[in-house]
Amino acid sequence: MKIDGMYKPLEEVSYNSIPYTRGPQGRINRRFAQFAAFQIRYRWFFIAGLAIFTFIGLAGLPRMTTNDNMDEWFNEYDTIEINTKRFEALFGNEDQVLVLIQADDVFDPGVLTMIRDLGAELLEKVPYARELRSLTDISISMGSDEGIEVRSPFEDGIPQAGPEMEEKRAYIMSRSSLVNMLVSDDCRETWLSLSLYSYEGENESREMYSVGQAAQKIITDPKWQNPKGGVAPYTLKPAGIAYTEWEENQTVMAETVKRIIGGFVVAILCLIVFTRSFRGIAVPVLTIIGGVGSVFGYMARLGIPADSNLMTLPILLSMALSIGYAIHLVNSFKFHFRRPGQWNFQRNSTSPNVSPRKEALIAAAGETGWPILFTAVTTMGGLLSFLFAGIGALRWVGVTSALTVFAVYLYVILLVPVLFSFGKPKKNVPDIPPGELSGNIETVPSVSPLEIYPSGTWIEQKFYRFGELLLKRRKPVILIAFLFIAAFIPGIFRMTVNLDYFSFMGKKIPYINRLAEIIDAKIGSLYTYTVMVNSGEPDFFKDPQKMRDLDSLAADLGALDLTKISGTRPRISSVTEIVKEMYRTLNSDDPAFYTIPDDPDLLAQLLFLYEISGGRDLFNRISEDFSTAVLTVELTGYDGNRIAKNVKAAEEAARTRFPEEDAAVVGMIASFAEMNNKVVYGELKSFAGSFLIIFIFLALVFRSIKTAFIGMIPNIAPVIIIGGIMGYAKIPLDMLTMTIMPMLLGIAVDDTIHFISHINLELERKKSYGQAVLDTFAKIGRTLGTTTIILCAMFAVYALSPIAMLFHVGVLAIIGMTSALLADYTLTPLLIYVLKPLRKRSYE
């Protein structure tokens, strides 16, 4: 029953009587409004408590340590990981520092002198340096008066150009195991390689970076870059996992920091434009600093390291959500602040003064506090689904991001009512007399706020009219929206899961161009995997037939599509090359004897002779008890799917040649290829879990399965559109793209929950579905658009990055958030209006 056009007064509540209905939504909103009134009354206590909490958290940041150990991406029981550890136990570190030297003639004495001196400096100054292999540091079998000796052609020094140099050149170029392996057949390219001891300590990635950093400092020294004193021109092109991973780390870190700072600055500029309020800017800034700083600070106090590869994701998410949460609350405050006196407060004479400002804050907290909490909980639930991905690094980012979301929510919900409660009353609006909010309050009218309050801004009126137009054209709008979304579905089936390193990083990065040039070189390659055959039987490979099987396996591996071919020769390193070279040397260097001898005793003698003659390569390719042999395969590039197929084919070939032995593929590249698929499919499961969690939350909160389905549509639509675009544009789905998807989902679900919650509240105020939709557009339509514009502006900074993966993140994020907003502006209100899923009851 109404009184003078108003609803019947509510009963008196324990602290502040708040003007909301007795319906479920109204009861929840009243609690948030009561808490806001409590905050305002004791605001100095809240300020002091939050300041102390923040200070303690930020004080923990100096203790923060980072962990970039790639082992976190693998389960210790993964097959490749197990076999790699076995390989390292036998042969040490598979990683190397490599330098491709290109010159008109690599046998020029000046070039050889440079190679010798550069190698010596690397061996001396690079951590974990083990031994060199280059034209000036190789072991070659040579005939002598006593038979065979293994020595370096330049161990007595580098001769000047002339007959002696030509003799050494001719002998090196006659070795089948060296031509188009160590040196190109045209003598214009050669490799310098520095093998490494196994990394020590718990964080192998950090040790690897130390190797890359030290090598980069040496190789880029100007003294090696500018030939002087008549030395023939040459170029140095460094490579190797340690070197390139260090370069990637520095490049990505610098670019990411630049984009985060740029996005932060753009967000502040947008906040200045849209809020025109110092406090409206201060709240998101303080929230980002306090929320992120406190989470990382307290984690540091607990001794939990941050994952340096993924720590930017919680920071990005906090920036996005702090802006979204703050704008919803601040804009709601402004909406009510422009409409003072809309409630009839009964006060007693002993209470303090309550200004329209504080009333507006209480109303704003009541209307937006619950939707903001609900969005935070659903986002946290979605992120915690990463716990089931089975990958340590993803578990860390899931928990950390969830904690960051919770911290952002707390800071926003505490800071806005407290900070905005300070200030003078609005001009030309009479202040409300002194009195405490402890009496009965009559509810707001059930008609449009634009009709009751002509002071509604033009943008609110525009959104109200937009809602009217939308309801009138609801059928064609719904049809067009679904047809538009459906157009992207075929593209999803064209998506591929892959990690092509050059496409992932992009050719605009200088070191990527250098790596591409190395790949294109005649003897150039960047990546390798190793096939390990373990018999468990000492002297197993002293059997000629087993050695021939190993040689046949090398031929099988050479036929795989990713194996690098230099000239006509597959780039595969094996102990069989040493045996064949020794057998040829023993037989007057006759090329016909470049084969495996049939006599087992002779084979054993050749191996023993190479060992005692000082040959350095033997036990890099076979174990000291001759039970385990390895073949190293060099690749033409890094394509995750193709590498995975080659690795599988290599394993099958090895098991075919050695059915009774333990054959496996090991190496970081094989692990990375396996990791991308594992991460993507693990994240897909987590992503599906996120949808399920959000669906359950929506169904429980709104007590309607139908409402939950409607609420999921604006969140599924961006995923379909992004997936379709990626499929049509042939952008592969990689681990970075999948890692940011839950972040976009968390942002998208924010607007949906606010829209449905406001409609539900208006329905409890006895409004029709149509009026509820129109009033919701008027109240929060601008806010939804504002938050999306600011977030898109932030991610536009990423779209300007020269790194392809960051560019894709920026573009896809903008597309995702824009499509989510359009779905919330159209499908969410129209489907609610048409299907009427919410319970419409009288709560008088």
CA atoms within 13 A on the CB side of 93: 23
- 55 pLDDT tier (thresholds 50, 70, 90): very high
- Asked whether residue 214 carries a pLDDT value surpassing 70, the answer given is yes
- 831 pLDDT tier (thresholds 50, 70, 90): very high
- 14 pLDDT tier (thresholds 50, 70, 90): very low
Look at strands 628-634 and 572-573 and give their pairing: antiparallel
- Read out DSSP for 356-421? HHHHHHHHHHHHHHHHHHHHHHHHHHHHHGGGGSS-HHHHHHHHHHHHHHHHHHHHHHHHHHHHHT
Lowest mean pLDDT among 131-145, 418-432, 454-468: 418-432
CA atoms within 13 A on the CB side of 250: 13
Tens digits of per-residue pLDDT, 680-738?
777 677 777 778 888 888 888 888 898 889 988 888 888 899 889 989 988 887 777 77
Tens digits of per-residue pLDDT, 605-634?
888 888 777 677 788 889 989 999 999 999
Tens digits of per-residue pLDDT, 19-43?
555 666 677 888 888 888 899 889 9
pLDDT of residue 666: 86
- 762 pLDDT tier (thresholds 50, 70, 90): confident
Tokens of 95: 């990683």
- Give the position of tokens 């161990």: 155
CA 841 vs. chain centroid, Å, equals: 47
pLDDT of residue 840: 55
- Asked whether residue 810 carries a pLDDT value surpassing 70, the answer given is yes
pLDDT of residue 75: 56
Q: What angle do CA 326, 328, 330 make, to 5 degrees?
A: 65
Which residue blocks in 174-277 are alpha helix, DSSP H? 204-219, 222-225, 241-275
- Asked whether residue 102 carries a pLDDT value surpassing 90, the answer given is yes
Closest CA to 366 of 13, 719, 676, 657: 13
- 341 pLDDT tier (thresholds 50, 70, 90): low
- 587 pLDDT tier (thresholds 50, 70, 90): confident
Tokens of 260: 């985060």
CA distances for 340 relative to 17, 198, 355, angstroms: 17, 72, 9
pLDDT of residue 74: 57
- 677 pLDDT tier (thresholds 50, 70, 90): low
- 447 pLDDT tier (thresholds 50, 70, 90): very low
139 compared with 17, residue with greater pLDDT: 139
Q: How many CB atoms lie within 10 A of CB 559?
A: 10
pLDDT of residue 162: 85
Amino acid at 16: N
Lowest mean pLDDT among 220-234, 322-336, 483-497, 806-820: 220-234
Tens digits of per-residue pLDDT, 706-719?
888 998 888 888 88
- 505 pLDDT tier (thresholds 50, 70, 90): confident
649 compared with 156, residue with greater pLDDT: 649
pLDDT of residue 841: 52
